[in-house]
Amino acid sequence: MTSTVLILGAAGRIGQVLAQAFAEAGWTVRAQARKALPPALAQRGGIEWVRCDALDAFALRQAARGADVVVHALNPPYTQWEKLAKPLAEAAIDAARAAGALLMLPGNVYNFGTQLPEVLTVRTPEHGDVPKAQTRIDIEARMAATPGLDSVVIRAGDFFGGAGKGSWFDLALTTRIKSGKFVYPGDVDVLHSWAYLPDLAQTFVRVAQQRAQLKGAHRLHFTGHAVTGEQMRQAMEHAVGKPLRTAGMMWPLLRVLAPFVPLLREVVTMHYLFKRPHQLDDTELRQLIGSVPHTPLAHALVAAWRDHQPSSAESLSVSARA
């Protein structure tokens, strides 16, 4: 019997990759989005567009009826987390619980706060010492405390790969590649955790296939690629086929501007993630699914660069905004 997954936020960056991964695995995919799906999804068999607002509780419950899994891939604009993150999570929780479906959430490392240790396990203490950390902690606690809800958070590092914009990869690292520069937001000797989205999406599928073992609330870590900025630069050189010299970001100026520009304020607040070395321990994930999908970094960057190579106009626009 074919399994069914409802993906909330299917038109978003991770939502698109998840929808494709589940469809390729033979699942029936219901793809929730307010606007029309990207052509790659709309034209693919096995994917049904569910057009509704993610905060429309009745519509979401209808969409989730009969689903085995609900994936909460909704991600509000960075400047609207305080307003929208929790209501969107509540809507996802309500839909999954009404359907008796497993609720899956792409997590991140925010939960561990500004003093996160180098190795992050599922037992590492969490600290809500920045607003986004506390928001994530509250959402995951709400999932765990909801009676009758089975849930799993798959925590990963910064995304790259797949279609769309909005990650450090396309808003910093690749913005000046054409001029031979690799823009890195932190110390190039500090270990940073990255997640190649096609690998992460395949991991979601494999975990979903084990849903019978996931009663109650669970957290899993996806290691992805834990590399220094210098290692990332070297791999990026291979991907683009030319030498790259490292360029930093103008953090002192950004801090001056932050009080007047909401997005910059949020970005500056999270800058600590490029100052603290960290990597995710995936022991529990491997125990559940065995081998974890892992594309070598050089190959992943080739694909990511192909998908996100900015046009000259986009590069100029990003530089102007900066």
Give CA–CA dist 9/77, Å, rounded: 12
- Domain annotation covers residue 208: yes
Question: What is the model's pLDDT at position 312?
Answer: 38
The pLDDT of residue 281 is: 98
Q: Which residues contact 320 (CB under 8 A, 6 or more apart)?
A: none
Mean pLDDT of the chain: 92
Other C-beta atoms closer than 10 Å to the C-beta of 275 total 12
Residue 153 phi, psi dihedral angles, 5° rounding: -100, 125
Per-residue confidence at 176, pLDDT binned at 50, 70, 90?
Answer: very high
Which pLDDT band, with edges at 50, 70 and 90, does 2 fall under?
confident
pLDDT at position 78 is: 82
The pLDDT assigned to 61 comes to: 96
| Structural domain contains residue 312 | no
Mean pLDDT of the region 4-9: 98
Backbone torsion region of residue 224, taken as left when φ is above 0, otherwise alpha when ψ lies between -120 and 50, otherwise beta: left
Beta carbons of 93 and 143 less than 8 angstroms apart: yes
Alpha-carbon distance 9 to 75, whole Å?
A: 7
Chain-centroid distance of CA 65 in Å reads 26
Q: Which residue has the higher pLDDT, 80 or 300?
A: 300
Asked if residue 176 belongs to a domain, the reply is: no
Residue 116 in domain: yes
- 18: containing domain: 4-163+195-224+277-294
Residue 21 lies in a domain: yes
Q: Which phi and psi angles does 318 have, rounded to 5°?
A: -65, -45
**Strand pairing category for 191-196 and 225-228:** antiparallel
The pTM for the full model equals 0.93
DSSP β-bridge partners for residue 218: 152
Separation CA 222–CA 229 (nearest Å):
19
Helix, strand or coil, per DSSP, at residue 205: helix
Is there a domain that residue 158 lies in? yes
Nearest to 269 by CA among 136, 132, 118, 72: 132
Report the candidate in 105, 106, 76, 73 with the shortest Cα–Cα distance to residue 262.
Answer: 76
- b/e sequence 195-204, b meaning 16+ C-beta within 10 Å: bbbbbbbbbb
- The domain that contains 80 carries what CATH number? 3.40.50.720
Q: How far apart are CA 238 and CA 301, in angstroms?
A: 9
Q: Which amino acid is at 173?
A: L
Residue 309: is its pLDDT beyond 70?
no
Which pair of structure tokens corresponds to residue 81? 């987390």
Domain-located, residue 263: no
| 302 is a domain residue | no
Counting the structural domains of the chain, the total is 1
Q: Which helix (H) or strand (E) holds 197?
A: helix 197-208
What is the helix (H) or strand (E) element at residue 42, kind and residue range?
A: helix 39-42
**CB distance 34 to 16 below 8 Å:** no
- Let me know: does 272 contact 183? Beta carbons within 8 Å: no
Q: Report the distance separating Cα 162 and Cα 66, nearest Å.
A: 29
